[in-house]
Structure formats: structure tokens, C-alpha cells
């Protein structure tokens, strides 16, 4: 009997159980609404930047699914090019789904990118979802299991690093031994309200699922600090500090820059526009040819980034500064640089509009 039921269990495992994002809304309405705002709910069908880049790379293979559509029941077929993303397939259109994130049991380290190992759910049984609540309340849709992964390594499966097929590093958000604790502190702060509609445990706060990032002005403001010092009347020293644990640039399409202007009245009398080191971005080569999308790149052409928790000093000589001149230092972020929008035919979108992160002003005395 034991052998037979074990055999049955193995067979049953084959047809994967899936609970959609929408199904969580019945009980976790607030978290669902937060999640819908977040970029974890965006992907091939509702993020034009992602779709255009993916289609430019290949109209056959969709190997982005590993991280962007990880819950897919046809993931192998999409990676090999036998199948395409299908909006009617909920496991595709749910993007980085609630169910997937809460099924991650273990993160396996690997050279190109890490791999999420999810728990096997057995059909006919309540699915087990992992989290880190103490003493979670009963419910009839899923059982709750505590897994230390949820305050440790859960972000590591997708965000740690990515290399392309030539082994070139495309992004690195986490250092080798870093865990996710700090990521959660900054990106999932506690916000008021219970985590579930009935809230029988009378909880007063829950982890935010907005996952705010570059598109949030409140987050951008927290990203860097800027200090202006004036030395010997003509030497402007700017100290830019990255206050995040990760580098400024963690996505190939991005560009960021430090703009320094000296204004006399309304007129700009000096700017640092010519300083290449004030622009943060990656540019790529395939062999000797310039390319924008790094999918097939073999090396960097230009590479300027600022590591997490580190500073960079800029030293500018500006002669003839007068009392009342304004030194304005601003840090801007761009979601997709111009060359990227040209390459994927998305000209005319406002994705290359500089978004202000931080501004500091010093008036010459």
C-alpha cells in the first residue's frame, strides 16, 4: 500500500498545480493591489520596453522567461523556441507571480545566473506557500510554511547577477556572500494594515509589495547624497555617494548622470557637460562592432558605474566665480538611454526623459 501511494504521489506531481495572482486577491486584497503596481507584475505583455528588447533579440526563443515569466508551464518550450509567450496562458501573463515567489524553496548558485528551485506541489492537497510569518492563521486555500529563505536569499535567484552566453557580465546587484535581508529592508518596508482581509491575528503592519524602484521619486531621492564644497574660491568639489547596497546601474538600458551648473542670475555660465565620467552607463562591443543590446556582446566599450555604499569625487576648476553665483548639482536617472530606444524603435516614448533623483544648491559667499 505504501509503495502504491508513493507511486501515485510521484505521478500526481507531474501535473503542476498553479494558483493565479487573481486568486490571491480574494484574501490578500491590499498586497494584491500593491503587487499590481510593482514591476514584478510587468513583463512581456504589459511592459513595452521589455517586449521590444525581447523581440529585437529573437522572435523565436524567449529565454528571458527564466526570470521574467518564471511560473510558466511551458518554460522549456519558450526557451528552446518551440513555443511563444501566450497571453491566454495565465502562467505566462502572471509575470513574476505571487505563487512562484512564495514557492521558492532554495536558490542554487550558478555562474551565468542563479537558479530558483521551487517546492513540488501535489495535486489534491493544499499547496504549501513559504513565508516568514510567526504562527500564521489557518486558511482553506493554502498551508503556510516558515522558510528562512524568505528573509535570507529569496531575491538572489533573479537579482544577484546575469551573464550573457559569452560570459560577459550584464548586471550584478549582489555580492557573492550578500543575502536578501538588506534588499527587503529597503524595498519591502513595513506598511500599516494586516496582510489578509479577515486579519484574525489582528496584525497591524505587513511587508509592502510595491517593490518601488527607479520610477518612484521618493525612492530616487534615497539613492544618492551629494555634497558641494568650494575650495580656494575657484575649485568646486562635488562628492557623490551611492547610498544603496548595489551599484547605480543594474540594468543595461539605464543611464544616470551628475549635472553641475553654475548660474549667475538666470544664465548658465558653466556646466560639466563635457565630463564623460559624470555619465554612468554601459556601452558594448560585439567583436569590434558597436552594439546596444548586450545579448550577444563580447566586451565593454565604455563602462562607468559606482559600486554600492561608495563615493566618487569630482574636482572642477571654474575661475571668476562671484558672490551670489549658484552652484547647482543634480543627479538624474534615465530608464532607457536614447541609443536603446533607437535600436528597438521606441523613439517618441518618454522613457529617455531624465528623472531627477537629488538636487543640492550652494550659493557662493
39 binds ligand HEC (CB under 6 A): yes
Q: Check: CB of residue 144 under 8 Å from CB of residue 119.
A: no
Stretch that binds ligand HEC, among 84-92, 173-181, 269-277, 319-327 (CB under 6 A): 173-181
Q: Binding ligand HEC by CB under 6 A: which of 30, 43, 236, 318?
A: 43
Q: Binding ligand HEC by CB under 6 A: which of 75, 92, 254, 352?
A: 254
Q: What character string, x for contact with ligand HEC (CB under 6 A) and - otherwise, covers 103-122?
A: ----------x--x------
286 binds ligand HEC (CB under 6 A): no
With the C-alpha atoms ordered 4, 6, 11, 17, is the resulting torsion angle positive or negative?
positive
Q: Binding ligand HEC by CB under 6 A: which of 223, 272, 278, 304?
A: 223
77 binds ligand HEC (CB under 6 A): no
**Alpha carbon distance 67, 236 (integer Å):** 44
**Measured from the CB of residue 275, what is the shortest distance to ligand HEC in angstroms?**
21
Residue closer to ligand HEC, measured from CB, 10 or 191: 191
285 binds ligand HEC (CB under 6 A): no
Q: Which residues, 47 to 76, sit near ligand HEC by CB under 6 A? A: 47, 49-50, 53-54, 57, 63-64, 66-68, 70
> Which of these, 353, 326, 325, 322, lies nearest to 338 by C-alpha position?
353
1 half-sphere exposure, CB direction, 13 A CA radius? 0
Stretch that binds ligand HEC, among 83-91, 218-226, 267-275, 279-287 (CB under 6 A): 218-226
Q: Check: CB of residue 129 under 8 Å from CB of residue 77.
A: no
**Alpha carbon distance 315, 226 (integer Å):** 13
**Alpha carbon distance 94, 43 (integer Å):** 9
Residue closer to ligand HEC, measured from CB, 154 or 329: 154
Q: Which residues, 316 to 345, sit near ligand HEC by CB under 6 A? A: 335
**Measured from the CB of residue 301, what is the shortest distance to ligand HEC in angstroms?**
20
**Alpha carbon distance 326, 47 (integer Å):** 40
Q: Say how far residue 242 (Cα) sits from the centre of its chain.
A: 16
Q: What is the CA radius of gyration of the chain?
A: 24
215 binds ligand HEC (CB under 6 A): yes
Q: Which residue is nearest to ligand HEC (CB)?
A: 131
**Alpha carbon distance 251, 282 (integer Å):** 9
90 binds ligand HEC (CB under 6 A): no
132 binds ligand HEC (CB under 6 A): yes
Q: What does each C-alpha distance from 353 to 2, 37, 225, 333, 348 come to in angstroms?
A: 64, 21, 21, 8, 10
102 binds ligand HEC (CB under 6 A): yes
201 binds ligand HEC (CB under 6 A): yes
Residue with grid cell 533607437, as numbered in its chain: 342
Residue with grid cell 558641494, as numbered in its chain: 228
281 binds ligand HEC (CB under 6 A): no
**Alpha carbon distance 75, 71 (integer Å):** 8
**Measured from the CB of residue 317, what is the shortest distance to ligand HEC in angstroms?**
30
Q: Binding ligand HEC by CB under 6 A: which of 172, 245, 305, 311?
A: 245
354 binds ligand HEC (CB under 6 A): no
> Which of these, 143, 141, 140, 116, lies nearest to 128 by C-alpha position?
143
Amino acid at each position: 500500500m505504501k509503495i502504491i501511494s508513493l507511486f501515485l504521489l510521484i505521478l500526481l506531481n507531474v501535473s503542476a498545480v498553479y494558483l493565479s495572482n487573481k486568486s490571491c486577491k480574494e484574501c490578500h486584497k491590499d498586497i494584491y493591489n500593491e503587487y499590481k503596481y510593482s514591476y514584478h507584475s510587468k513583463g512581456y505583455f504589459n511592459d513595452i520596453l521589455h517586449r521590444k528588447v525581447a523581440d529585437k533579440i529573437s522572435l523565436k526563443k524567449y529565454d528571458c522567461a527564466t526570470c521574467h515569466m518564471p511560473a510558466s508551464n511551458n518554460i522549456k518550450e519558450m526557451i528552446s523556441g518551440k513555443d511563444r509567450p501566450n497571453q491566454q496562458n495565465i502562467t505566462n501573463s502572471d509575470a513574476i507571480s505571487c505563487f512562484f515567489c512564495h514557492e521558492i524553496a532554495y536558490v542554487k548558485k550558478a555562474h551565468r545566473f542563479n537558479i530558483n528551485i521551487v517546492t513540488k506541489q501535489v495535486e489534491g492537497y493544499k499547496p504549501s506557500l513559504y513565508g516568514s510569518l510567526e504562527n500564521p492563521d489557518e486558511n482553506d486555500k493554502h498551508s503556510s510554511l516558515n522558510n528562512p529563505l524568505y528573509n535570507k536569499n529569496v531575491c538572489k535567484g533573479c537579482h544577484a547577477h546575469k551573464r550573457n552566453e559569452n560570459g560577459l557580465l550584464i548586471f550584478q546587484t549582489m555580492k557573492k556572500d550578500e543575502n536578501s535581508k538588506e534588499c527587503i529592508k529597503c524595498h519591502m518596508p513595513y506598511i500599516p494594515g494586516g496582510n489578509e482581509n479577515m486579519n484574525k491575528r489582528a496584525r497591524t503592519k505587513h511587508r509592502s509589495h510595491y517593490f518601488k524602484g527607479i520610477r518612484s521619486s521618493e525612492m530616487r531621492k534615497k539613492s544618492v547624497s551629494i555634497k558641494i564644497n568650494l575650495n580656494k574660491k575657484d575649485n568646486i568639489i562635488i562628492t557623490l555617494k551611492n547610498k544603496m547596497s548595489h551599484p547605480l546601474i543594474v540594468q543595461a538600458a539605464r543611464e544616470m548622470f551628475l549635472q553641475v551648473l553654475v548660474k549667475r542670475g538666470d544664465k548658465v555660465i558653466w556646466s560639466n557637460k563635457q565630463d564623460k565620467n559624470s555619465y554612468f552607463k554601459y556601452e558594448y562591443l560585439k567583436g569590434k562592432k558597436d552594439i546596444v543590446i548586450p545579448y550577444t556582446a563580447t566586451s565593454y566599450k565604455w563602462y562607468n558605474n559606482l559600486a554600492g555604499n561608495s563615493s566618487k569625487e569630482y574636482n572642477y576648476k571654474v575661475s571668476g566665480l562671484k558672490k551670489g553665483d549658484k552652484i547647482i548639482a543634480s543627479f538624474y536617472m534615465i530608464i532607457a538611454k536614447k541609443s536603446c530606444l533607437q535600436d528597438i524603435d521606441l523613439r517618441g516614448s518618454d522613457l529617455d526623459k531624465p528623472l531627477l533623483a537629488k538636487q543640492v544648491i550652494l550659493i557662493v559667499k
